[in-house]
Amino acid sequence: MVFMLALACAFASTVSVLLVVFSIRYRRRRPDEVPQQTKGSNKLEIAWMIIPFVLAMIVFFWGANLYFQMSRPPDDSMEVYVIGRQWMWKFVHASGQEEINELHVPINQNIKLTMTSQDVIHDVFVPAFRVKDDVLPERYTTAWFNATTPGQYHLFCSQYCGTDHAEMVAWVYALTPADFQKWQGALIPVTGGPETAGAQLFQSLGCGTCHHTDNSGAGPTLLGIFGLRVNLADGSSASADENYVVESIINPNAKIVAGYQPVMPTFQGRVNAEQMLQLITYIKSLSAIQPVSTSPRTVIMPASAP
């Protein structure tokens, strides 16, 4: 911020001073005066192209680095799932607690929001935390924040989403770690959480029938796959993130994994937004487990691959 302010002041003051100096020095002194012809300076022209270019590149790469830091939640973040619907917010903690139009978080803790919409486009906006991001149907976006001061903060939907859009307001309660533990302890004990519910849904939908742990089924294994890149039948690859999982469930023929046939049926209409989050959480939990392959088919590669 100081660098940008200093750079702006330097350019503004330089242009202002030169404007005054040139206006006085090169003014027309009499009506019949003929200006003296001057030749350009290649060195000067090269200098005023290279110097601004270098400064602009410094600002660009600095800004890009800050953007990536802001857009990528830290690895130690506490995860909260957010579901927007007309006209309310639902928050689901990884430990299983659920809240409607209220979100309790501990201070000095990175909080990652994994967000989706059950109907139209919404937008999570917490002005006090400088957090604002779209919440899209059938897609997943992420945002994060770190509340440093205990208090109660507004959470708005800043995307017009229908008749009662103005009433789609929630509160974020930033608590001290001790108060946050008390809040958790005061709730009705939760059996399991999104991961447990996702595992049960995975079995009830019959997903395990094809997705074996050893790549021997009709579909690829899901062990250790989340966060990596998947080799596709057309020779390309895709990152196995939240949006890839959703697309594979509602439109399984969009990206066929190499070595497999397009035999998976669509589950569109059978899985709602909350159940989709549960399945994603369960598949995430399998990311630390490496498959024991009995099949020659290779379906994953390191995340650094192109």
CATH number of the structural domain spanning residue 142: 2.60.40.420
* pLDDT tens track for 37-52: 777 788 888 998 998 8
Q: What is the DSSP letter of 297?
A: -
User: For 167-191, what is each residue's pLDDT tens digit?
Assistant: 899 999 999 999 998 888 777 655 5
Measure CA of the first residue to CA of the last residue in the chain; give whole Å. Answer: 34
188 three-class SS: coil
Report yes or no on 114 lying in a domain: yes
Same-domain check for residues 150 and 211: no
Same domain, residue pair 215 and 177:
no
- Residue ending a domain, among 186, 207, 228, is 186
Query: Which of 92, 65, 102, 40 is CA-nearest to residue 198?
Result: 92
Residue 53 has a pLDDT of: 92
Q: Is 46 a domain residue?
A: no
Q: Indicate whether 137 and 199 sit together in one domain.
A: no
- Which pLDDT does position 299 carry in this prediction? 45
DSSP strand pairing (102-106 vs 169-175) = parallel
Which residue, of 142, 158, 186, is where some domain finishes?
A: 186
Tell me the pLDDT band of 192, cut-offs 50, 70 and 90: low
Q: What DSSP state is assigned to residue 83?
A: E
What domain range is 119 assigned to?
78-186
Does some domain include residue 136?
A: yes
Instruction: Find, among 291, 281, 285, 305, the residue nearest to 116 by Cα.
Output: 281
**In this structure, are 178 and 210 located in the same domain?**
no
214 and 290 in a single domain? The answer is: yes
285 and 255 together in one domain: yes
Residue 93 has pLDDT above 80, yes or no: yes
CA distances from 18 to 39, 127, 146, 154, 233 (A): 19, 41, 46, 48, 63
Q: Is residue 13 part of a domain?
A: no
Count how many domains the chain has: 2
Q: What is the C-alpha to C-alpha distance for residues 250 and 269, in angstroms, rounded to an integer?
A: 8
Residue 104: count of CB within 10 angstroms of its CB: 19
Predicted local distance difference test score (pLDDT) of residue 289: 61
Examine residue 44 and state whether it is found in any structural domain, yes or no: no
Tokens describing residue 205? 């939908």
Tally of CB atoms within 10 A around 163: 8
More confident residue, 69 or 121: 121
- Residue 4 has phi, psi (to 5 degrees) of -65, -40
Q: Which two tokens stand for residue 116?
A: 């989706």
What single-letter DSSP state applies at residue 265?
A: P
Identify the domain boundary among 186, 207, 229: 186
pLDDT tens, position by position, 270-283: 888 878 888 888 88
